[in-house]
Amino acid sequence: MDVLRYTENSEASRIRPKHILNLNTDEKLEFLASFDRVFSDIDGVAWNLTSSIPRAVEGYQALLEAGKTLNFISNNSVRSPSEYERKFKDIGLEVDLDALVHPAKSILQYLKHINFKGLIYVIATERVKDMLREAGYDIIDGPTKIIKESFSDLARNVFGDEPVRAVIIDVDFNLSSPKLIRAHVFLRHPDCILIEGATDKLLPVGNDLDIIGPGPFAQVLAGSSKKHLITLGKPGKELGEMLVKNFEIEETKRVLMIGDMLEQDIGFGRQCGFQTLAVLSGGCKLQDLERETIRDNIPDYYADSIADFIEFMNDLNKSNV
């Protein structure tokens, strides 16, 4: 376990996240007693792109046995909620779908909350589109074909009189300039709202490899249209308000947010008033913590992985012998 280092002239130099296994017995007891509910990210915490995090299930079980309520919250809508449920079963963890916070589920709840009735233009995966259709919403998408390099052909594919009153943008592996242009055209209507799911600027897909996420494209639409971006993925304010209401959270400080992304997970947790713990098993490495200077992205605690809670609880059990 490494000790975090910060330069003395940095504002962050006064903020030193503590590794949970470096806490003394009294500090461990105080930390464990300070939260009742855990919100855990999934990718990079429970598993990575190609494999599970070693002993992650045992780490979660240690928290459950300590009496903590466990919920999972993901920005990844490439998997449907039912696919997440099967994936959890595959690694040996039973997770009720009600305990899973998923971008499409949050978007659907928001649309229901505002009693939305209009046509929706969607830039997202087919799974998200299917969930919207199954919930009874009318959607359109595209264009999906290659546009000739002429303004006349572009115009034929992006201009129309469809009464779109909401644009939704999330992960779309087939995102294109014409799709963004078409979304911008719809957003010119004063009653058309803009909703985003995942906010990630970068998506980790392997060791030291990441790709551009949907976040920058959502910002392009927000900037070009001057619309308020309703954010229902981490670290969205609207999502945070939804969670506090859905789970009837009375004291936000008694919630622990665990994640592997500093802006999406830790920033989200701090914005909500939760305690925060970063794990180094996914998109965040020790050097990322050391370099971080944005106060809201620096966690209260950190661990090598969720599996550290196994040793954490064993240490406390030994101290009680």
Tokens of 302: 């950190």
Q: How far is CA 261 from the centre of its chain?
A: 9
Q: In the prediction, which pLDDT does 11 show?
A: 53
Q: In the prediction, which pLDDT does 207 show?
A: 66
Tens-place pLDDT, residues 40-78: 999 999 998 778 899 999 999 999 999 999 999 999 999
Tens-place pLDDT, residues 12-26: 445 689 999 999 999
CA dist list (Å): 265 to 111, 199, 287, 299: 24, 11, 17, 9
Report the sign of the C-alpha dihedral through residues 31, 36, 41, 44, in that order: positive
Note whether 297 and 290 are within 8 A (CB).
Answer: no
Residue corresponding to tokens 């998997």: 79
Domain boundaries, the chain: 11-75+236-319, 104-231
- Segment of 88-92, 152-156, 207-211 carrying the highest mean pLDDT: 88-92
CA distance 52 to 89: 12
CA distance 58 to 206: 24
SS (H, E, C) the chain: CCCCCCCCCCHHHHCCCEEHHHCCHHHHHHHHHCCCEEEECCECCCECCCCECCCHHHHHHHHHHCCCEEEEECCCCCCCHHHHHHHHHHHCCCCCHHHEECHHHHHHHHHHHCCCCCEEEEECCHHHHHHHHHCCCCEECCCCCCCCCCHHHHHHHHCCCCCEEEEEECCCCCCCHHHHHHHHHHHCCCCCEEEECCCCCEEEEECCEEEECCHHHHHHHHHHHCCCEEECCCCCHHHHHHHHHHCCCCCHHHEEEEECCHHHHHHHHHHHCCEEEEECCCCCCHHHHHHCCCHHHCCCEEECCCCHHHHHHHHHHHHCC
- Report the share of the chain in percent with pLDDT over 90: 78
Amino acid found at 320: N
Task: Give every CB contact of residue 8 below 8 A, 6+ residues apart in sequence.
Answer: none
Tens-place pLDDT, residues 216-248: 999 999 999 999 999 999 999 999 999 999 999
CB atoms within 10 A of CB 266: 32
Question: Which of the four pLDDT bands, split at 50, 70 and 90, describes residue 146?
Answer: confident
Whether the predicted model's global pTM rises above the 0.75 cut? yes
Q: In the prediction, which pLDDT does 228 show?
A: 97
Q: Is the backbone peptide bond immediately before 190 cis, with ω within 30 degrees of 0?
A: no
282 or 36, higher pLDDT: 36
Please name which of 308, 290, 275 lies closest in space to residue 3, comparing C-alpha atoms.
290
CA distance 1 to 22: 8
Query: How wide is the angle at C-alpha 274 spanned by C-alphas 272 and 276, nearest 5°?
Result: 120
What is the topology classification, in CATH, of domain 104-231?
Rossmann fold (3.40.50)
Q: What is the CATH number of domain 11-75+236-319?
A: 3.40.50.1000
Note whether 162 and 175 are within 8 A (CB).
Answer: no
